[in-house]
Amino acid sequence: MKHQGLRPVVFALLAAILLLLPAGCAHLSVEEGYVPPRSLVTLSQWPHEGSDLAPDPDTTFGRLPNGLRYLLKENQTPRDRVSMHLYVQVGSLAEHDGEEGLAHFLEHMLFNGSTHFSPGELVKYFQRIGMQFGPDANARTGFAQTVYDILLPRGDAESIAEGLLVLRDFAAGALLLPDQVEKEIPVVLAEKRARDSARYRALEAAFAFEMPDSLPARRFPIGTEAAIESFDEASVREFYDAWYHPERMFLVMVGDFDHATAREWIVERFGDLQPRGAERALPDFGRFAHHGVKAFYHFDRELGATSVSIGTVTQSSTPPDSTDRRRRMLQEEIAYRILQRRLDALLRQPESVMTSVRASAGDYLQQIRYSEITAETTPQQWEETLTTLENTLRQALVHGFAQAELDRARRAYLAELQREADEENTVDSKRLAGAIMDSLGRRHVFQSAAQRLELLAPMLEEMCVAQVNKAFETSWAAPHRLVAVSGNAEIAPASLSTEAYIRQRFEIAGEQPIQPPAAGEAIAFPYLEPPATPGAIARRTVHEDLGIVQIDFANGLRLSLKPTDFKQNEVLAALSFGHGKSMEPADMPGLAQMSQAVVNGSGFGALDRIELEDALAGRLAEISLEVREEMFVVRGEAVPQELPLLFELYHTLLNDPGFQPDALQVALRRFEQQDRALRHSAEGVLQREGIAFLAGGDSRFGWPAWEQLQQVSLGHIARWFGQPLGEAPLELVMVGDFDVEEAVALAARYLGGLPARRESDGRPDRPGPRFPAGQALQLHPDTAMERALLMVAFPTDDFWDIRRTRRLNVLADLLSERLRVGIRENMGAAYSPFAYHRAHRAYQGYGFLAAYLLVDPRQVEAVAAEVDSIVDRLRDGGIADDELRRALDPTLTQIKDLRRLNGYWLNSVLIGSRRHPEQLDWAREMEKDFAAITVDAMNSLAAKYLDQFKAARIVIRPE
């Protein structure tokens, strides 16, 4: 279960911790002197009531006499499934002193016994009907709302009735038994420990600075340890009865179901719901006001980088949603897109010291407005970064934006709107439900993509530079600047306080003269001619049962095509070649990571990445490199009308690849920061050292040391990646909404006419990984975080016996469930223990099944002993039939969904099918094979592979 809603205000580091709410641009001017409400205001009517914006006509908006509201929307993706949600307008901002974390704790308790499900039974019920706890059934708590999610495996009347029964129990049927409250306290404390990090603590400090004396700064949803330990049945029940009232609730249902049936069952399940207690007064939100230049400094050596930002944060009103408001929001968003484009260009300048940079503005929690420009940098160069940010911001405020910049942003935005409208009928139901709930939280009228296109396209066409400039100026009109430096920069001026020194550097930066940005030149793409003669087709094979067409060209190119109707307007592609990371030389660790970063950051030989993005503004096709262990894969994505552009991108990469010095420098700066961050957490140390230990120290596993990454040059990358790019046989696969003959013709023109290529020896010139059977590793991160990581791994085998691999994956699921019950539910020692199976494709005989747990360092030995006991019981005690069904049925549900996903056919069936044609047979019999798994087979597998004498153990905890 998750706590949500920590939206970014000033720091870029906040984005890494967000759990639900996406950023937005809605910073609008309001009447001077407006005083926001003392606390959050409940949404008592639909956002479209009283607005001139029409809601989505295909969404049903309903209200029961008791005040509970519901939204129903039919959607066929995925088929037969229904995304159901209970959205309750209460979160951590309803907590009074001493109750910190109570809204989130209550969310946990609703899974621990209710009117129709005794403690411990709800998760089993979900599993028995084909749902996975986590992906298909979960909940999350934010500042202003708590949301319960169910993804039903079927949309028939019986399933709808059962799903609504579960949500009804959440709404009013929680048992809140004293023994269950007591058991859940250590689980929530384990979650708090698992989420604790240097970034999270920086976020807490940032909130206290940005919103001083405000409730949000004191009410992070996870709560405080002291408050959590004090919770009992009475306090939890009082909160539940006070806030879980029908008028605060929304039911959201999106999927493949009958609306009339759903309405009948909503009335049946919720019609008699009444408040159980008097609603309490909400705590005071608090008041704050910033003036002048204020500085903030937060030092934590465990943060891998230093974040520098300039921003504003004010308390003000959020106007009702309307056409006029959408127009002003759009103008502001275009302004920030233009600014972001400028910042991205600065990031890639040779003299740049930044590793990431972004700008945004928006509103939050009904009465908070912010604007920000922020960058990450090295600790030694925070002053230079601050100067760059201040100058760039002031340049935009003083000189404004250019017509060419507006034209580029407008083209890109219009293309995105059109794409969303074209894809609307095949958007995933969970995504649609999320958009509906997001609109409720923001008080926005929920509209279809077609409505948004119809509304915003004319606004974009008539938009002028003066409007964009005005919108940007308005977003920075607050009479203050918040200047923040947070991270691993040690600032200790001799004669000033740290904050005074930061202010001084900001003021000095503000004295520097600024000039308007230079006008850019128009850039053309494509710039290469395709081969003069299209390639000849040597063989055409049709797999009618799979809907797959395979074309072999005379030059050796294999083209595999699967046209689908799964998602409108989506074409996924992958160009694969070579043998990937398995061929990384032993004396060049990190070459694979550096190659991927540099190639993706370089654009092409004649155009760097920024120039390429400018040339393609408003075009919807892109490619990116993924270095897999067994091959190089250049992934592509496009809308159908841009298929020629997609082939032009592939053709240009093959004939004029880019290895740009600026991309190398950006990669090095980012990897240096990542290396610093990895040293300071148990999870990071596992990546740096633990994963390589499980491979016998093989340098192709885990994360290379910073000193090793520094040795990689552009020459190394150009030779290692460039050789297979230019010489290895090519396989192009495409899945999605396209015409087969058009794709064949384009492949013949751009790739089939290239010179013939020959397959090289795919065996690495070095030994493969070796599992450290019976060995143990103790590691110590440099951290103050009281969190330990325990990993117990068992050697298995490689990927290519697919029946064995599938059954080992199921064995990992069985172990995960036993860990959940034994370690989380019974011991309360870990929030989310799990097991997984990793079977490798590139290394013969290598794979492992591992249990992974984050625990209190003081409990490592006790937890390790219990893990061993759980493994022994699984291996020796046998697997029950019901236990196996509860593991298999969610998998079978997932398989049905997978078969209608373009990504499944691309990644699991077609990529690499030239080398491994058996992958097509795997797709044919996957569901049948999983359904045939028996208890006896799983017991034999557990007995064979869960051998404690062969296990490798890793313990990572602070010294």
**pLDDT tens digits, 824-833:** 999 999 999 9
Q: What is the pLDDT of residue 765?
A: 82
Instruction: Tell me the per-residue pLDDT of 210-222, one tens digit each, with 9 for 90 and over.
Output: 999 999 999 999 9
CB 788, CB 957: distance < 8 Å: yes
How is domain 2-7+43-270 classified at the CATH fold level? Cytochrome Bc1 Complex; Chain A, domain 1 (3.30.830)
Q: Per-residue pLDDT averaged across 780-790, rounded?
A: 96
Q: Per-residue pLDDT averaged across 116-122, rounded?
A: 96
Q: Per-residue pLDDT averaged across 722-748, rounded?
A: 98
- Give CA separation, 673 vs 305, 354, 355, 483, 662, in Å: 5, 11, 9, 22, 17
**Backbone dihedral angles phi then psi of residue 357, each to the nearest 5 degrees:** -155, 140
What stretches of 862-937 adopt beta strand conformation (E)? none
Q: What is the pLDDT of residue 21?
A: 30
Q: Per-residue pLDDT averaged across 411-437, rounded?
A: 97
Q: What is the pLDDT of residue 550?
A: 99
Which among 800, 57, 919 has a CA at the least distance from the CA of 448? 57
pLDDT at 947 over 80: yes
CB 812, CB 849: distance < 8 Å: yes
Amino acid at 758: R
As a whole number of angstroms, the distance between CA 444 and CA 43 comes to 11
Q: What is the pLDDT of residue 7?
A: 34
Least confident of 309-313, 518-522, 893-897: 518-522
Q: What is the enclosing helix (H) or strand (E) of 816?
A: helix 802-819
Answer positive or negative: Cα dihedral of 15, 20, 23, 28. negative
Pull the structure tokens for residue 828: 């309360």
Q: What is the pLDDT of residue 318?
A: 85
Q: Per-residue pLDDT averaged across 444-455, rounded?
A: 98
- In order, the DSSP letters of 576-614 are EES-GGGG--TT-TTHHHHHHHHHHHH-BSSS-HHHHHH
CA angle 907, 909, 915 (to 5 degrees): 100
- Give CA separation, 782 vs 304, 339, 489, 685, 745, in Å: 12, 38, 17, 9, 57
pLDDT at 16 over 60: no
Instruction: Tell me the per-residue pLDDT of 821-856, one tens digit each, with 9 for 90 and over.
Output: 999 999 999 999 999 999 999 999 999 999 999 999
Q: What is the pLDDT of residue 38?
A: 73
Name every residue whose Cβ is closer than 8 Å to that of residue 913 and which is 6 or more positions away in sequence.
Answer: 550, 560, 731, 733, 919, 920
CB 110, CB 148: distance < 8 Å: yes
As a whole number of angstroms, the distance between CA 933 and CA 727 comes to 43
In the DSSP assignment, the letter for residue 155 is -
Q: What is the pLDDT of residue 317?
A: 81
| Structural class in CATH, domain 776-956 | alpha beta
As a whole number of angstroms, the distance between CA 255 and CA 375 comes to 41
Q: Per-residue pLDDT averaged across 566-573, rounded?
A: 98
Q: Per-residue pLDDT averaged across 538-562, rounded?
A: 98
As a whole number of angstroms, the distance between CA 952 and CA 778 comes to 11
Strands of the sheet containing 306-315, edge to edge, are 292-299, 480-487, 306-315, 368-377, 354-364
As a whole number of angstroms, the distance between CA 160 and CA 83 comes to 10
Amino acid at 280: R
% helix, strand, coil for the chain, step of 5: 45, 20, 40
CB 486, CB 205: distance < 8 Å: yes
pLDDT at 22 over 70: no
Q: What is the pLDDT of residue 17?
A: 33
Q: What is the pLDDT of residue 62?
A: 98
How is domain 537-752 classified at the CATH fold level? Cytochrome Bc1 Complex; Chain A, domain 1 (3.30.830)
Show me where the domains of the chain are located: 2-7+43-270, 292-510, 537-752, 776-956
Q: Per-residue pLDDT averaged across 723-728, rounded?
A: 96
Altogether, the residues listed in the chain come to a count of 959
Q: What is the pLDDT of residue 35?
A: 59
Q: What is the pLDDT of residue 861?
A: 98
Q: Per-residue pLDDT averaged across 684-699, rounded?
A: 98
Other Cβ atoms less than 10 A from the Cβ of 102: the count is 26
Q: What is the pLDDT of residue 852?
A: 99
Confidence class for position 529, pLDDT limits 50, 70, 90:
very high
Q: Per-residue pLDDT averaged across 565-583, rounded?
A: 97
Confidence class for position 522, pLDDT limits 50, 70, 90:
confident
What stretches of 639-786 adopt beta strand conformation (E)? 731-736, 776-779
Same fold, 2-7+43-270 and 537-752: yes
Q: Per-residue pLDDT averaged across 348-368, rounded?
A: 93
Q: What is the pLDDT of residue 32?
A: 41
With a pLDDT cut of 70, the percent of the chain lying above it is 96
As a whole number of angstroms, the distance between CA 198 and CA 206 comes to 12
pLDDT at 20 over 50: no
Helix, strand or coil, per DSSP, at residue 186 = helix
pLDDT at 407 over 70: yes
Instruction: Tell me the per-residue pLDDT of 707-719, one tens digit each, with 9 for 90 and over.
Output: 999 999 999 999 9
Which CATH code is given to the segment(s) 292-510? 3.30.830.10
pLDDT at 385 over 90: yes
pLDDT at 519 over 80: yes
Q: What is the pLDDT of residue 6?
A: 35
Q: What is the pLDDT of residue 24?
A: 31
Strand bridging mode 731-736 / 571-577 = antiparallel
As a whole number of angstroms, the distance between CA 256 and CA 292 comes to 55
As a whole number of angstroms, the distance between CA 174 and CA 231 comes to 16
Q: What is the pLDDT of residue 2?
A: 52
- Give the dihedral of Cα atoms 554, 559, 560, 562; nearest 10 deg: -120
Give the mean pLDDT of the chain.
94
Instruction: Tell me the per-residue pLDDT of 901-927, one tens digit each, with 9 for 90 and over.
Output: 999 999 999 999 999 999 999 999 999
